Structure 1
C-alpha cells in the first residue's frame, strides 16, 4: 500500500468531525497543500485534512519530491533534500558547462540521388541530442558496431546506405509522410525509419539512451535524446527531395571533441572559415627600391584606443560574449575596413559552440582596438557572427573589446569574473 494511502486508512472506522459517523478514507490530491494529509471520504463528495503527512511521504504520485515538516522538498543532484544543485549540460552536478563543448550545425548538402546520406557522427558520451528538419526527407541514426571511425569509413560522404529493402528512387518519386531518424544496429537492423519504411512516433532505445521521435502535422519532425550515449551513432538522411537543411546539436565531453573532429573529416565537414592561411609578408633580404612616379598617399595614423581596463569592463565582455579563450596570434591581414587575425587557441574558458585549434578572429577596423601583436598570447572575448545567408561564420572581436595580454594574474581575474555572470 502506498505510504499516503496507509496514513489515510488509519482513520477508517473511527469517528471524525464531532459525530459518531465513520468513513473509509483514501488520499485526495486536489487540496492546496500537498503535504497535508488530505483524505477523501469514499462514496461522499468531501475530504478532510488530518494534519501533516509523515516526513518522507511523496508529495504526489510519481513525483520526485518528499514532504518534510509540511514542505515539499526535491533532492538536488548532490542527494540533499531542498538543494538547488542541478546537473549542467555536461552531466556534472553543480557544473558550469565548462567540461564539454556544444556542437551545433546545419547540414545543407543536397544529394544527387535519393537514398541514405551521412549528416554527422554523434560520438559516445554525447548529451542533450536534438535533430530537426522540415521536409519530406527521412533522417536516420545508425549504431556503430566497431566505433565511429570504422562506421564513417564504411559509409563515405555521398555514399548510399541501402537497407535490406534496396532500391535508390528518384527525387521525382512518390512522397512518404515526414519522418525523422532511421536507427540501425551494427548488424544492419534499423531501429527507426529503416528499409525505406516510416516508423511511428514514440520512444526508442538506442546506444544506452531513450530517443524520443515526434512528428507534427505537416513536414516537420524532431528527434531528442538526453544521453549520454554508450556508443557512437551516425546521423543520416534518406533524401527523397532536395534538402532544405537539417539542424542538429549535442554536447560533447572535451576529451572526445578531438577524435570527433577527426572522424567528422571522413564525412567531409567544411571548416568554419576555409580561407587559406596568411601572415604578414616578410621583407626580402636585398630589396630593390624603385621610387614611384606619383606620390602614394600616407594612410592616416590610427587614433589612440579608449581605456578598456577595469573589473566592470571585464565582467561586461566576459558575461556577454560567446567565446573567451587564450590564444597566440600567428598572423595578421588588413583588408579594407577590417583586420583578420589568425590565432592558435590554447585554453578555452567559455564557448557556446566548438572552437578549433586554429581560428580566424576578425576586428571591424583597419585600426583595431586594442591591437594584437604577432607571436604574443592574449585573453580574448569574442562574439559569433553568422551572415544572414549562412555563408560566413566569424569570430568577431568588437571595437574596444576585451583583449589583454595573458598572464597568471589575468587568468585568475577572468576565472573570478566567470563566477559573477548571471545564469
Structure 2
C-alpha cells in the first residue's frame, strides 16, 4: 500500500494495475486453466478496489491419449507409499467422490473403508468424472461462452455469447402429409447454419437425413441405422429410437451444409414435429428455397386426360407404329438382361412396384393409371395413385391392366412448370413383378455409382 505523508490529504480513488500476462496451461492435454492477476493500488483511507485479483480462463489441447492417468488420480497417487495421519503405515490412494467438497483432494485408501483429504485439488481438475466444470481456487466453476471460468456467460439459441435470441428466427412445424405406401417422403429442408434442431415422431416409420451431396447420414437406402451419435455436417447428430415407438433427432449445430429431412414411410404418418433456429439473414433464402422446391415436390395430378403438347418435342420416340386400332402393334425390342436393368435403374428418377388399374390411348400417347405398392427409388414423393405416360399408340413395353410390374420411370416437367409427368421411356424397364425380379432390382440398387 502507498501511505500519504503527515498532513497531506489522500489523493484519488483506489485503482487496479493492468492485468498481467496469462500463465501457462495447467494441463498438457485435454482441458486446463490459465490465470492472470492484477494488484490494487490504494491510498490510506480509501476503500479497497472492487473486483477480483485473479481471472481464470479455459485452455484446450487435443484429448489425452487412451490409457492416460486422469489428473485427479495422478494427484492422489503422489501420496502412495508416504505415511499420513501421523502413522508409519502407508497406503495406495485413489480418488473418492462421496465427500461434500468436490474440489478437495479426497482420496480413498485402497482396500480400506476410509478416505483422507489432502487439501485442495490443483486448478484445472474436473469437479467429477465426465463433468464440464473445473475446480479453481477450491471452487467448482462452469466455463462461460466467453472462455472465462465462472463468468456465467451463455450462448443464446442463435449462437451469440450473452445474446437474447433476437438475431435468429425459430422455425417450428408439424409435417402431416404423405401417402400410405412404403417409400421415402420429403419432410423439410434444414439449411446450413441451423442450430438446436429437434425432430420427433411416434410411429413405426423412420426418420432419414440426406446430405447436400446426395448421400444419406441416417436410415438411407432402405437400411435402418443404429441409435447413437453421428458426426456429420460439422456437428453431432444424436439419434434415438425406443419401443414405444418413438424416434428423435437432436442436433446442436450449427450445420455446415444443407440437410434434407425425410421419412421412410411404413404406416400412415401421425405427424412429425420439427424445429430449429436460423439466423435472420438466412431465413429469407431458406423460405425462397423451400418455395422453389415446392413441398411436396410433385403436385397432385389431374384425374382427367390433359394434353401435353410439349412432350413429343422434348422426347422423340422410335418410328411410330400404325395408329389404326385394327393394325397390330409391331414386336418390341428385347430388353432382357442385367445390363439393361442396371442402366435404367441407375438413370431413372423413380423405381417402384405398381398395379395397372387402367390404360387410355390418345393421339400418340398412352396413359396408364397405376396404384403404387412398393417404392425402391424416389427422388421426390409419390402418391398412392399415379399416372405413367408412354409415347406412341403401341408403346414399348406395353403394360396390361390388372397386372403388377416393376417400373423405372423418369420425371418430366414442362418448360413453364405447369405440367409434371412420370414417363416410361421407349424400350425402358417394365418387368412383371415376381419375388425373383424383386431380388434382382434390389441388387441393382447396390451397383449404381
Superposition TM-score, scaled by structure 2 size? 0.48
The alignment partner of 1:260 has SS state of: helix
Residue 165 of structure 2 corresponds to 97
d(CA) in 1 for partners of 2:71, 2:178: 58
**Runs of 4+ displaced beyond 6 Å:** none
Residue 354 of structure 2 corresponds to none
Whether 1:190 and 2:185 are equivalent positions in the alignment is: no
d(CA) in 2 for partners of 1:208, 1:76: 22
Whether 1:59 and 2:85 are equivalent positions in the alignment is: no
d(CA) in 2 for partners of 1:91, 1:139: 26
Residue 184 of structure 2 corresponds to 116
Residue 201 of structure 1 corresponds to 227
Q: Displacement of 1:220 after TM fit?
A: 1.5
The alignment partner of 2:218 has SS state of: coil
Equivalent residue in structure 2 for 1:130, among 195, 198, 211: 198
User: Relative to structure 1, is the Cα distance of residues 113 and 21 closer, same or farther in structure 2, using a 3 angstrom cutoff?
Assistant: closer
Whether 1:222 and 2:248 are equivalent positions in the alignment is: yes
Q: Displacement of 1:255 after TM fit?
A: 0.7
Question: How big is each residue's C-alpha offset from its partner over 1:181-221, in whole Å with a ceiling of 9 and x where there is no partner?
Answer: xxxxx2xx433212222222111222121111111212321
Q: Displacement of 1:113 after TM fit?
A: 4.2
The alignment partner of 1:247 has SS state of: strand
Residue 69 of structure 1 corresponds to 137
Is contact 1:118-1:267 (8 Å) kept? no
Equivalent residue in structure 1 for 2:261, among 235, 253, 259: 235
d(CA) in 2 for partners of 1:112, 1:45: 63
Q: Displacement of 1:19 after TM fit?
A: 1.9
User: Relative to structure 1, is the Cα distance of residues 113 and 7 closer, same or farther in structure 2, using a 3 angstrom cutoff?
Assistant: closer
d(CA) in 2 for partners of 1:194, 1:28: 46
After TM superposition, the structure 1 stretch with the greater mean CA deviation from structure 2, 29-38 or 16-25, is 16-25
User: Relative to structure 1, is the Cα distance of residues 98 and 110 closer, same or farther in structure 2, using a 3 angstrom cutoff?
Assistant: same
d(CA) in 2 for partners of 1:40, 1:231: 49
Unaligned runs of 5+ in 1: 146-185, 271-423
Equivalent residue in structure 1 for 2:85, among 17, 21, 26: 17
The alignment partner of 1:101 has SS state of: strand
Equivalent residue in structure 1 for 2:108, among 23, 34, 40: 40
Residue 288 of structure 2 corresponds to 262
Unaligned runs of 5+ in 2: 1-68, 297-449
Q: Displacement of 1:247 after TM fit?
A: 0.7
The alignment partner of 2:269 has SS state of: coil
Whether 1:249 and 2:275 are equivalent positions in the alignment is: yes
Report 1 or 2 for greater relative contact order, CA contacts < 8 Å, sequence distance ≥ 6. Answer: 1
Count residues with an aligned counterpart. Answer: 228
User: Relative to structure 1, is the Cα distance of residues 243 and 44 closer, same or farther in structure 2, using a 3 angstrom cutoff?
Assistant: same
Is contact 1:128-1:225 (8 Å) kept? yes
Is contact 2:181-2:267 (8 Å) kept? no
Query: Larger radius of gyration, structure 1 or 2?
Result: 2
RMSD: 1.8
Q: Displacement of 1:136 after TM fit?
A: 1.9
d(CA) in 1 for partners of 2:211, 2:138: 48
